[in-house]
Chains A and B, each alone.
Chain A
């Protein structure tokens, strides 16, 4: 979408106001470089937006934190001083909170700190990870997300490297293969369930996925969606009831009578990929969990 020169001129005072608010001159930024940063953000998140939409986007940005990171990327000493003062300890705290352990948290934060500083060079220039911060959320939240991403990536890499002894202890080598439980005996049940799931709003599917796939608590799901856990509980109960009705109706639409549809739902339990051993251990009292290898 082309933007007329008049609209661009009209946006200049607002951009200048944002520049003054950002106090970017403290980190050696000029108005022109500030405009370039804003344009970079708009190109990434609203490439086809009008000037008014862009202005709205820019006004919602964390401008001060954005210019701080750009100052750090440019190697400005004051910017780094401020960044370290405000975020260094916080970074360690975040890493410790995510890893739940002091030493590994410190190691994770140190490695990320090196990336934030930019130990790698590209085309003769230091590449700092801070240049990816665009100011949509707070810098602290961005750091938290980056640490979480790094932690998940590391965990997944390490999980691939499991010794044979550990696999034997966990029973992985003797676990039944997936081919025995590939899915429902009757394909119509899967189709009906898929159809019912597709009809749900995305937020409801997120609740289901968080609860049934990730084993998250109602509180965690509620915090993710910004609602209270009791709201999640009510929605989940309502969702399951509605889903059941829709699946039964879908099965009936596929040629089953009601009794057969109910039976298909119950029969399907035998084909579920459920780790019964793990589930049972979760529900047993703590004293019984010590004899994992004996049973």
Chain B
């Protein structure tokens, strides 16, 4: 097809360019698909001839972000499951029966204890040292001759270091037994003692271990009974080790075994005298806190740095420094929820949403990425333009946000997340709790007159009018009192 495209390209280029061009009005209407069909055909005809206008139209196409947003809104069309096709349905049933039959016949849960040796060779961990490597650790000149000089040196260094580690192993492990493994998949050290700090013994079996002591320890570890082969709680193993003398490890290795990391309390200190892992009790408070993944330090632990004036929030993903005003509001919100009584644990409704101004920061600090993105997407910009309440998601396209008649003229708008207040003439005050989807008209007292010129929601809701009046509401706008009559 290449030859025809070359020919087409050449003949298209040879076509004469038209002299007259449609004006910007028509071209912009064409881009916006706003032209009648006949006129659109004329523009298409012109564009097929005129490279200048094609360039202009191409440049004046709006950014494709709108299309992306539109695609996000489109709901996925539900499709019929393929498994409802009869062939798949019967095939699936047959497969399940076959699996069940295999389980009944084979009984894999009743395998003899030695089967872990077979499993170990499929372990993703590094393979145990081969005979050749073990020979290299002893620096046998006969085998060294087959290896290049550099390899020999490297292996000799490595074997020397390995031997030194093996020799020092128990003492070194005993020196710092409290060092916890960095992760479950990491095998700490090379000594047999490190086995206990590693996760499952079946994975440890493939670890590079050198020396006769280690192989003995390994064998004893493998011969340990099946119950210990599961993902281990090292404290439990130690306890059972004490009960069953010698069945697990030798005495030397036992002294070198590092104890498992003891759960630490929030201050980072090890709980004294704990013999069992002390998991925090499951309470509604814990569940709520873990759900939000936010730990608030008490107010007296906030950083006292004056100029920055920040509050430190400790989350599961690290520390966050946020302005004191926001952090203070969050802490107050949680304290207020706690003060409401133990029977009423902090929850979304009491601890976070009781005040509109406090509701948002907690979600912003929460380390849930999807929530943060959703919150960022939901940000709107608000303005009052010539008495009209306007809303925009990107500050480029503004839409009328409230269906108002010609008499209503807005003067001020205040937005806190999805909470929006707008005030206008004749002491009109409206409020939306869902970013302008629904609106409620708040009843400011009849004594209020003039235009609403200011709205604040720091401590209760407060509005000011152009006649100098100030009204306060402590019940989310249901009742309003003048500022000098505000009930204590």
Task: Say whether A138 contacts B58, CB under 8 Å.
Answer: no
Cβ of B5 under 8 Å from chain A: yes
Once A132-B24, A183-B14, A224-B58 are accepted as A-B contacts, the answer to whether A86 and B398 lie under 8 Å apart by CB is yes
Which of A136, A151, A152, A273 is close to B25, meaning CB atoms less than 8 Å apart? A136
User: B302 CB to closest chain A CB, in angstroms?
Assistant: 38
Complex: how many Å from CA A203 to CA B3? Answer: 22
Are A82 and B386 closer than 8 Å at their CB atoms? Answer: yes
Contact B48 A216 (CB under 8 A): no
B59 within 8 A of A: yes
A67 at the interface (CB under 8 A from B): no
CB distance B54 to A137 under 8 Å? Answer: no
Q: How far is the CA of A90 from the CA of B11 in the complex (A)?
A: 40
| Interface flag for B27 (CB, 8 Å) | yes
What are 26 A-B contacts with C-beta separation under 8 Å?
Answer: A81-B386, A85-B385, A98-B60, A136-B35, A141-B29, A141-B32, A144-B28, A145-B24, A145-B60, A148-B56, A148-B57, A148-B60, A152-B56, A184-B7, A184-B10, A190-B14, A208-B12, A209-B47, A212-B8, A213-B13, A216-B58, A220-B61, A240-B8, A266-B3, A268-B3, A273-B13
Are B59 and A132 in contact, CB atoms less than 8 angstroms apart? no
Which residues of A184-215 are within 8 A (CB) of B?
Answer: 184, 189-190, 193-194, 197, 202-203, 205-206, 208-210, 212-214
B413 CB, nearest partner CB in chain A, Å: 14
Smallest Cβ-Cβ distance to A221: which chain B residue: B58
Question: Could you tell me which residues of chain B, from 18 to 44, have a CB within 8 Å of some CB in chain A?
Answer: 23-35, 41, 44
Known: A137-B32, A193-B8. 15 other contacts (CB 8 A): A81-B386, A93-B396, A136-B25, A141-B28, A141-B60, A145-B57, A148-B56, A152-B55, A152-B56, A152-B59, A209-B49, A214-B54, A240-B5, A266-B3, A274-B6
Distance of A240 from chain B, by nearest CB (Å): 5
Chain B positions within 8 Å of A8 at CB level: none
Interface-side segment among A164-172, A241-249, A282-290: A241-249
B114 within 8 A of A: no
Note all chain B residues with C-beta closer than 8 A to A117.
Answer: none
Task: Scan B72-86; emit 1 where CB is below 8 A from any A CB, else 0.
Answer: 000000000000000
Q: If the complex has contacts A145-B28, A193-B11, A213-B12, are A247 and B56 also in contact, measured as CB distance less than 8 A?
A: no
User: Which are the 4 A-B pairs with shortest beta-carbon distances?
Assistant: A137-B28, A148-B59, A137-B29, A141-B28
- Determine whether the beta carbon of B54 is less than 8 Å from that of A209: yes
- Chain B residues, Cβ within 8 Å of A97: 63
Which of B5, B7, B62 is the one whose CB lies under 8 Å from A144? B62
Contact between chains at B12 and A149 (CB < 8 Å): no
User: Is B9 a contact partner of A212 (Cβ separation < 8 A)?
Assistant: yes
Nearest-neighbour CB distance to chain B for A176, whole angstroms, equals 16
Q: Is the CB of A272 within 8 A of B59?
A: no
| Residues of chain B within 8 A of A151, CB atoms compared | 59
With A136-B35, A212-B8, A273-B13: A203-B44 Cβ-Cβ less than 8 Å: yes
Question: Nearest Cβ in chain A — how far from B64, in angstroms?
Answer: 7
Q: Which residue of chain B lies nearest to A212 when distances are taken between CB atoms in the complex?
A: B9
Asked if B475 CB lies within 8 Å of chain A CBs, one says no
A60 close to B34 (CB less than 8 A): yes
Q: Which residue of B lies closest to A265 (CB)?
A: B3
State whether A152 and B52 are in contact (beta carbons under 8 Å apart), knowing that A90-B396, A133-B25 are contacts in the complex: yes
Kindly state the separation between the CA atoms of A97 and B394 in the bound complex, as whole angstroms: 15
When distances are taken between beta carbons in the complex, the residues of chain A under 8 Å from B24 are 132-133, 142, 145-146, 149
Given contacts A152-B52, A220-B58, contact A138 B32 (CB under 8 A): yes
Q: Is A18 in contact with chain B by the CB < 8 A criterion?
A: no
Residues of A at the B interface (CB closer than 8 Å) are 26, 60, 78, 81-82, 85-86, 89-90, 93, 97-98, 132-138, 140-142, 144-149, 151-152, 183-184, 189-190, 193-194, 197, 202-203, 205-206, 208-210, 212-214, 216, 219-220, 223-226, 240-241, 243-244, 247, 265-266, 268-269, 272-274
Q: Nearest Cβ distance between residue A66 and chain B, in whole angstroms?
A: 10
A138 pairs with B28, CB closer than 8 A: yes
Q: Is the interface of A mostly helix, strand, loop or mixed?
A: helix
Known: A82-B385, A223-B61. A197 touches B12 (CB 8 A): yes
Alpha-carbon distance between A147 and B56 when the two chains are bound, in angstroms: 9
**What residues of A have a CB within 8 angstroms of the CB of B374 in the complex?**
none
For residue B62, which residues in chain A have a CB less than 8 angstroms away from its CB? 141, 144
Of A82, A224, A269, chain B has the most CB atoms within 10 Å of the CB of A224
* B51 CB–A CB distance under 8 Å: yes
Judged by a CB distance under 8 angstroms, whether B1 is at the interface is yes
B176 nearest CB across to chain A (Å):
50
A136 and B28 in contact (CB under 8 A), knowing A202-B41, A269-B3? yes
> Given A132-B25, A142-B28, are A197 and B8 also a contact pair (CB < 8 Å)?
yes
Instruction: Tell me the bound Cα distance from A105 to B25 in angstroms.
Output: 22
**Is B282 in contact with chain A by the CB < 8 A criterion?**
no
Chain A minimum-CB-distance residue to B47: A206
On chain A, the residues within 8 Å of B4 by CB distance are: 240, 243-244, 247, 265
In the complex the two chains form, is A205's CB within 8 Å of B55's CB? no
In the complex the two chains form, what is the Cα distance from A81 to B52 in whole Å?
Answer: 34
Q: How far, in whole Å, are A110 and B83 apart by their CA atoms in the complex?
A: 63
Bound form: Cα–Cα A13–B395 in Å: 37
Contact of A272 with B11 in the complex, beta carbons under 8 Å: no
Distance from A234 Cβ to chain B, minimum over Cβ atoms (Å) = 14
Do B58 and A241 touch (CB < 8 A)? Answer: no
Residue pair A144, B60 in contact (C-beta under 8 Å): yes
Contact of B61 among A85, A89, A209, A224 (CB under 8 A): A224
A225–B54 CA distance with the chains assembled, in angstroms: 11
CB distance from A42 to the nearest CB of B (A): 13
Complex Cα–Cα for A136 and B10 (A): 35
Given A189-B7, A193-B11, A212-B12, verify A78-B386 contact (CB < 8 Å): yes
Q: Which of B11, B29, B51, B58 has the largest number of chain A CB atoms within 10 A?
A: B11
The docked-state distance in angstroms from the alpha carbon of A151 to that of B28 is: 15
Given known A-B contacts A132-B25, A151-B59, A213 and B11 have beta carbons under 8 A apart: no
Q: Is B45 engaged at the interface, CB distance under 8 Å to the other chain? A: yes
A189–B7 Cα gap in the complex (Å)?
A: 8
| Closest chain B residue to A149, Cβ basis | B56
With known contacts A132-B23, A205-B48, A269–B56 Cβ distance under 8 A? no
B10 x A89 contact (CB < 8 A): no
CB contacts (< 8 Å) of B29 on chain A: these are 136-137, 141
Q: In whole angstroms, how far apart are the Cα atoms of A176 and B173 in the complex?
A: 80
Bound together, the chains give a CA A220 to CA B4 distance in angstroms of: 23
CA distance A205 to B385 in the complex (A): 45
